[in-house]
Amino acid sequence: MCAHLMDAGHDVTVYNRTKEKASALLQKGAQWAASPALAAEGADAVFSIVGYPSDVESVYFGEDGILSRLSPGSVAIDMTTSSPELAKQIAEAAQARGAWALDAPVSGGDVGAQEARLAIMVGGDTNAYSAVIPLFEIMGKTISLMGPAGSGQHTKMANQIAIAGTMIGTVESLLYGRRAGLELDALIDVIGSGAAGSWSLNNLGRRIAKNDMEPGFMIMHYMKDMGIALEESRKMGISLPGLSLVESFYRAAVGRGMERNGTQALFQVLDELNAQRT
């Protein structure tokens, strides 16, 4: 995502907790900063994307955090899937400095990031959104301001809830097909072009067919997302039994040491559970 911004001609300063992970960008011409604060200093726009809400807090708050050096009139954009409440806190802290903050989580997986086809769901100030939409358009294809601060995160939770149900359907369908003796790629070719078609089936299903469990999105991170969604649903007083069921299968995956596998490894969990019953 950062490389796309550089390819479009933008000057970029980067920070990563592990410098080696930024080596490709540094070789491409990005400047290195020793802290989030120094990366933010003097920038018109600051993008962050990390793992967990606690990571978001660590890169935004404190003397080395983004907010300590965020310039008046600039925009901080957190693209982590995180807590809606934390997004509101960051927006309020940015406003106190005369700046803006947007929550802008994404969907589309590793392929969407590589091909600049991400869906970007944004929460925050309309003027801030208008200022940075040309940058969003470099990274994604479907971009929408969903409402005030926190709305981007709520939209991503709705996205993850839908994916949870779709993913259980995908792995059950492919497990059924394999046990019936069907060739999985041929199966996906047919049902993936009809009413059963989905991003999960047509992308992650292909990886399942090849027994490729390498992560486009790690199980441990999806567990985090489901946890946020379930917490928010409890605050709203609603029950999401389908999401709770899928979470239990992913917990079984973690128990099998699969937390760093891709979410398609849910197929292996269901396959093993069914093998135990026969």
H helices of 180-240, in order, are: 184-191, 199, 205-209, 219-236
Residue 9 CB partners (closer than 8 Å, separation 6+): none
**156, 210, 224, 235: which is the annotated catalytic residue?**
156
| Inter-CA distances, 187 with 196, 201, 222, Å | 11, 10, 26
Contact between 134 and 141 under an 8 Å Cβ cutoff? The reply is no
**Is 156 annotated as catalytic?**
yes
Residue 14 three-state SS: strand
For tokens 């039994």, name the residue.
241
Residue 163 CB partners (closer than 8 Å, separation 6+): 200
Tokens of 25: 């960008």
Task: Round to whole Å and give the CA distance between 199 and 195.
Answer: 12
Tokens of 96: 């106190």
H helices of the chain, in order, are: 2-7, 23-28, 36-40, 53-60, 66-69, 84-96, 109-114, 126-139, 151-179, 184-191, 199, 205-209, 219-236, 241-255, 266-277
Active centre residues (catalytic): 156
